[in-house]
Amino acid sequence: MIAKKMQNYVKNSSAIRAMFEEGKKMAAMYGAENVYDFSLGNPNVPAPAAVKKAITDLLEEEDSLVLHGYMSNSGYEDVRQAIAESLNSRFGTAFGVQNIVMTVGAAGGLNVILKTLLNPGDEVIAFAPFFGEYRSYTDNYDGVLVVVPPDTQTFQPNLEEFARRITDKTRAVIVNSPNNPTGVVYSEDTIRRMAAILEEKEKAFGTDIYLISDEPYRELVYDGAQVPYLTKYYHNTIVGYSYSKSLSLPGERIGYLVLPDELTDAQDIQSAANVATRILGFVNAPSLMQKVAARCLKEETDVSYYDRNREALYGGLVKLGFSCIKPQGAFYLFVKSPVEDEAAFCAKAKEEHILIVPGSSFACPGYVRIAYCVAYETIVNAMPGFERLARSYGLVK
């Protein structure tokens, strides 16, 4: 018999993944061009050509024993140094090799840092709607996830409710901007106010509260939106980054954590994260991909591709009477379900071969997430189905 905890995980297994599997089945049945799969955040822009070049060059140039070998659990030092310098030049920070730990994507990074920080019963705060895996990652280390309810007018973090939920057990706060699933970018003013609350609470409780910035979508922004670099606003900030979206490499599992020297117990945290990487069984982030990342620090994905999709989907759905805020970043649209039971709406969309994810997966029922990291044609071809849905709910006559 499998472990009790696993029984729960299996039972509540990600609706997103379930939808993705369903999409593959439907594509086999109806033909891929007749299924409009908006379920998964799998980038549809190919990795930059420089990634392929880096891989082939590395295979030619590097000693294969080094390239494919074990290294420090935190990653290759030259790679970590290169990443630190890149961050410093972009954000005016002063990181060095000791501040970077290479990780198995953002997911690996979050698990490493939560393993490093959490004692059983410690509370981790997340703002609804949030990436549903935060709940499992927190539970992996017997932490308790505390949810701040959403401000559905703006989907900016609800700071009053946030302040109310911080206790002497609060160990960490996870923020994600640009946000999955809303596409919202937290403004500098929001960050300043959040930092002030955290500082005040640290003083009041005599505790350390670590702010974890989960930012796989940092570079995916539109209309010139600015994404503040959070380590500059609050001393106990940890950044989790990933190349999954920015270089379209989700299957390669590569990212890093930033553990600034300003953290309370910084050195302990840096060495504990090194050990956590090992004992969680990652051992180290994929070696070849670490080197690829270091060679591609200046590469960018084609944001204009996602922007075109954003305009087409947002414009199309609003015209049909659906209601949602216009995303400033990432590649998701978070749409109000025309009926309270958004799972019923998702089921009805499925009849139109449109696959979308219920907001309950993000602790925000009554909404659905539509991932627009798809081919432009998928959006265009799905519109008649969206229109039939809108008519059936009386959104358009």
| Residues at the interface with ligand PLP (CB under 6 A) | 41, 105-107, 131, 176, 180, 214, 216, 242, 244, 250, 255
3-state SS, residue 143: coil
Q: Which residues contact 100 (CB under 8 A, 6 or more apart)?
A: 74, 75, 80, 81, 83, 84, 256, 257, 258, 259
Least CB distance from residue 253 to ligand PLP, whole Å?
Answer: 7
CB of 112 to ligand PLP, least distance (A): 12
Q: Which is nearer to ligand PLP, 233 or 362 (CB)?
A: 362
CB of 179 to ligand PLP, least distance (A): 7
Question: CB–CB of 347/203 below 8 Å?
Answer: no
Whose Cβ is closer to ligand PLP: residue 133's or residue 262's? 133
**Choice between 214 and 342, CB closer to ligand PLP:** 214
Q: What is the token pair recorded at 325? A: 């805020």
Residue 242 beta carbon to ligand PLP: minimum distance, rounded to whole angstroms: 3
CB-CB contact of 34 with 350 (8 Å): no
Residue type at 242 in one-letter notation: S
Give the ranges where 75-132 is alpha helix by DSSP (H): 77-91, 105-117
Q: Which of 291, 241, 7 is nearest to 112 (CA)?
A: 241
Nearer Cβ to ligand PLP (170/242): 242
Beta carbon nearer to ligand PLP, 23 or 250: 250
Cα distances (Å, whole numbers) of residue 202 to 113, 143, 150, 266 = 19, 19, 24, 16
Q: How far is the CB of 105 from ligand PLP (least distance, A)?
A: 3
Question: Shortest approach of ligand PLP to residue 358 CB, angstroms?
Answer: 16
Q: Which of 75, 17, 43 is nearest to 249 (CA)?
A: 43
Amino acid sitting at position 226: Q
Q: Nearer to ligand PLP by C-beta: 106 or 259?
A: 106
Taking the complex as a whole, the smallest distance from the CB of residue 203 to ligand PLP amounts, in Å, to 30
Query: Measuring CA to CA, how many Å separate 300 from each of 25, 289, 303, 331?
Result: 33, 16, 8, 15
Report the distance separating Cα 308 and Cα 327, nearest Å. Answer: 12
Minimum distance from CB of 339 to ligand PLP (Å)? 26
Least CB distance to ligand PLP at residue 228 (A): 17
C-alpha span between 198 and 210 (Å, rounded): 9
Q: Which is nearer to ligand PLP, 105 or 327 (CB)?
A: 105
In order of 109, 256, 342, 390, the CA distances from 49 in angstroms are 26, 22, 40, 41
From residue 270, how far is each of 88, 107, 113, 212, 369 by CA, in Å? 19, 18, 10, 14, 36
Nearest to ligand PLP of 132, 338 (CB atom): 132
Choose between 120 and 251: whose C-beta lies nearer to ligand PLP.
251
